[in-house]
Structure 1
């Protein structure tokens, strides 16, 4: 079990040190010190109030009215001060947590988008599931719960030190009983319940994420599912995913709410009677005031709770440990350079031309050769049309041009990706305004509303802006526009951003012939060098070069 704890601590610190030793460490640590000061002050007030409580009980037992009412006034003052201190450190704790989350989220997002790691995760890595959940939920949980645990630990240390002196001053037997009690609580809780609860929480996080992802896929593919009449299959699959959530949660609550609580509550409530048992004889023979029992019970309970914080919050701790595990695996993946393989790779040379020399392209797993020894070069303003049967590797060549696939041999000469615009068959409609759609992916394009209207007119979307209330209205464009309208809107991006090179993967497949030919005529007018994947014979007249790709063959590599 010690090995288990050490692993959690190492993984926690590997992520935590990024912030606390990073570029914001001065401000973060200053807030942390201030938080510690407030916690120390609050602990002193707790000790003071515990002592006053004992004084009140002693005053009542002695029927000393002046002593009693004086204690009440003093206690009220302490309660007010305690309220201010608790509010202050609670606000400060949450503030530190949200600043930490902002920094760490930004760090993960930068790595997630660096070298297009998001694409590799989505297409080639099945071990790291639901990166969206890890960034959105696990980072939040990590930061907020870390600060909460830190506060609890620091407060516990202050409480143990302060109240232990009180217990020692009353009876050394109280300290010895507390030591034995704490050792038993820690050993049983960690030793018996630790691994099981952590694994169950880890499984629950994964299964909840899979269930949510399944629901998202249904929303995103609702029309296709409806057309296929696949309602029954999809419903059964979602119900199966939820059953896994349900069954794991049943096991989780069995362990956390039944097995753990059977031990935790009775053992925790021993603090209510142990001080009275230990001091009872001295009270009965008159060696101690009655109020000392109340004071000892308060101090004993506070120290016992602080020392055994792991027992009282063990279910939360194991959930936190599972979250650390998911976030650490994600962090380790993102911080590593993209994997280099021993297999042959395509060389990409930055150049002011678009060409391939002796290109042999294979699937990423090197199990199929899509085509061999392809050589072609485009002159400025020329168009290349790639035709062939479905599954022959046409789109794969575009992936190679974009640098997404590099399995194979040969050389690709191409400019920087910023000079190229890729239009897939199903356009990507970003979250944003109509203006955002038109200038994507270049957010710095300066173009007037009138220019945008003229461009929309040229792609046969004349009334689009007026239809939705202007260029600055946000809509779910993938929902409110038909696929044909989306393809024309995406094509308008070429006219807006004016790239030197355009790559079109069946980018006009949802259009009729007249609209398709109109768009290609516009493309020729721009002087853009372009590569198209398509099936229709009428596209040939818009391209100077044509490649026909056959079905792939098995590779012996």
Structure 2
């Protein structure tokens, strides 16, 4: 996953990515140098104060204003470029994940994995955003602190001089003792923080899943609000939502405890570090080896070195969250690639645009149970087939197999091309957007005149919707089930598919409307093959061929006289 994320700098967008990255590095390095200049500036400033030198004090203030002006401008541009790079990287990575998720119906096949991925919407919508933001923040912070450590370690080494330490009868000379003191102090603080804060990474990972599950429960309640209110399920839903939220509370309490312990360590570490530099440099100052300005320069240089070495301590919470979202995205990416390695339907199908043919086709459930055993049939274009049988016998699964989306089958069959297939399910899918886009779905750029759209809506008795043709809304929430069915029928009239699959399409409408739908299909699409699933006896009169499944893999096939 990380390899795929970093491939942004090797993609077609690489030139812009590298320009932004190099500019960001330049700004980061310049900021460190400007801070070094400010630290050097302290020497003259405090010496002028100690010597009551007003002229030197005035010139130091002018120098300070100049350095700060450049620093403020550079800091603003660094923030601008970093946020722009975050946006471009997220845009590229989101496109990659959406493409991978939708590739060869991965979003559909994913639910058949042994370990199904939860909340792919959150992983694409939120986890990528957090990954990109934290990755750049941590990378820029690491670069800045690395440059700071190198630059100010040199400064601190120069200012430290050497110290003589007597060990028994031996005198040991330690050069750059301030640098060694900072390294030991920071190493100890980092070790303690990592040891105490290690559980935070697992806790953040678990909390991401808890938040996603709770949000999904809220969205699902909104989606099925009508069913819940009719069942008087308010109390049950409240209990269910609070149950999911209790997982968030339990995990958050653990995060609070771990964060509190880390805060104690980092706070004590930071407070002690403010006086640590003065303590270890004070002997030289009281021996008149240092002036006040040099003491403040040592303190400033030490603070920058300490800050660079304490980067892991100060960023531990962000590192933990970054690792959590990285693990979730890596798991998501791994599962998507696993689907591609599985045996899909395209491996055992052949192309025949005019006739749907099956040769000893056996259809299985994901668990391996046989649903249809060795089905052999041929359905030419313009014919009609009704698939019937008891509930749960595999009718919908067989329909999905014939349409080329179900992966668990053996034998051979011809899959019609995608452009010639249209599904009319019991609950039609209507994308959020304009009514015009809903009618033309899924072919966004298809060339259809307004007259044809209006004619299709008139035929399907939806003329009342014509004034709202370009209004964007969630039409699945604003239209009745009957209107949704007629809208999907208008879609079929406009696209003129050669193969129409109806999955319990008329189960929730009356017999009159059912007859109307099949009559329109027969008149407007006479060359299209119609394959239906249903239980009603009335459906028999609209189909010439009947396929009955018995639920144990067996089947029977019959033909009615041509009407």
TM category (shorter chain) comes to: over 0.9
On the 8 A contact 1:346/1:409 being kept in 2, the answer is no
Query: CA 1:362–1:336 in structure 2 vs 1: closer, same or farther (change >3 Å)?
Result: closer
State the match for 2:210 in structure 1: 207
State the match for 2:186 in structure 1: 182
Separation (CA, whole Å) in 2 of partners of 1:422 and 1:169: 77
Separation (CA, whole Å) in 2 of partners of 1:384 and 1:553: 19
On the 8 A contact 1:360/1:410 being kept in 2, the answer is yes
CA deviation vs aligned residue, 1:200-228 (integer Å, no higher than 9, x gap): 11011111111111111111111112222
Which structure 2 residue ranges, 5 or more long, are not aligned? 161-175, 555-563
Structure 1 window deviating more from structure 2 (221-230 vs 401-410): it is 401-410
Separation (CA, whole Å) in 1 of partners of 2:544 and 2:226: 38
Query: CA 1:508–1:344 in structure 2 vs 1: closer, same or farther (change >3 Å)?
Result: closer
How many Å apart are 1:339 and its aligned residue? 4.2
The partner residue of 2:267 within 250, 265, 268 is 265
Q: In the comparison of the two structures, how many residue pairs are matched? A: 536
Separation (CA, whole Å) in 1 of partners of 2:113 and 2:310: 45
CA deviation vs aligned residue, 1:98-153 (integer Å, no higher than 9, x gap): 11111111111110000111112245454421111111111111112111111111
How many Å apart are 1:15 and its aligned residue? 3.5
State the match for 1:355 in structure 2: 357
State the match for 2:240 in structure 1: 237
How many Å apart are 1:182 and its aligned residue? 2.0
Structure 1 window deviating more from structure 2 (33-42 vs 116-125): it is 116-125
SS at match of 1:376: strand
Separation (CA, whole Å) in 2 of partners of 1:121 and 1:454: 39
How many Å apart are 1:553 and its aligned residue? 6.3
Query: CA 1:344–1:419 in structure 2 vs 1: closer, same or farther (change >3 Å)?
Result: closer
How many Å apart are 1:344 and its aligned residue? 11
State the match for 1:332 in structure 2: 334
On the 8 A contact 1:138/1:323 being kept in 2, the answer is yes
On the 8 A contact 1:356/1:412 being kept in 2, the answer is yes
The residue correspondences of 1:334-413 to structure 2 (distance < 5 A) are 334-336=336-338, 338-340=340-342, 347-352=348-353, 353-366=355-368, 368-413=369-414
State the match for 2:433 in structure 1: 432
State the match for 1:253 in structure 2: 256
State the match for 1:515 in structure 2: 513
Separation (CA, whole Å) in 1 of partners of 2:287 and 2:69: 37
CA RMSD, Structure 1 to Structure 2 (Å): 1.9
Separation (CA, whole Å) in 1 of partners of 2:367 and 2:256: 42
Q: Does 1:529 align with 2:518?
A: no
State the match for 1:90 in structure 2: 79
Separation (CA, whole Å) in 1 of partners of 2:186 and 2:360: 72
SS at match of 1:460: coil
Query: CA 1:222–1:349 in structure 2 vs 1: closer, same or farther (change >3 Å)?
Result: same
How many Å apart are 1:357 and its aligned residue? 2.4
Which structure 1 residue ranges, 5 or more long, are not aligned? 1-10
Separation (CA, whole Å) in 1 of partners of 2:158 and 2:313: 27
The residue correspondences of 1:126-165 to structure 2 (distance < 5 A) are 126-165=115-154
On the 8 A contact 1:346/1:410 being kept in 2, the answer is no
How many Å apart are 1:354 and its aligned residue? 1.1
